[in-house]
Each structure stands twice: as structure tokens, then as C-alpha cells.
Amino acid sequence: MAHTFEIKKNKAGEFVAYFKYNSESIFWTEGYSSKAGAKNAIESILKNGPNAEIVDSTAD
């Protein structure tokens, strides 16, 4: 599967959830003190992400 979430620890020892496409990080969450916090962030993205509004703040 091309799309994955990966939980890793950052330099501060916090848990971070990375969203990857073909092994390339597309975006990541803030650092959480527990792995459960990172898992909750993933669940929130999966639940709320599909209907997210697109906002283009660029001036053409």
C-alpha cells in the first residue's frame, strides 16, 4: 500500500505520526508525550480529513 502512517520518536523523545506516500513523508503531527496521543491524532485525521475544506490563501 502506497499510503501509510508511521509513528516515530523525535529528538525530544516525543511520539510523532508521519503520513507517508511511497516512503516519502508528506506531513507529520506535533510531538506527543505518549504513543496513544500520536494514535489519537491519526484517528482524528482519518475521521475528519476526507471532508476537509481546501483554503487557497495565495494571491494570483
Q: List the pLDDT tens digit at each of the 60 positions of the chain.
A: 689 999 999 999 999 999 999 989 999 999 999 999 999 999 999 998 888 888 999 987
Class of domain 3-49: alpha beta
Rounded Cα gap, residues 57 and 6, in angstroms: 29
Rounded Cα distance between 60 and 31, Å, is 34
Grid cell listed for 58: 495565495
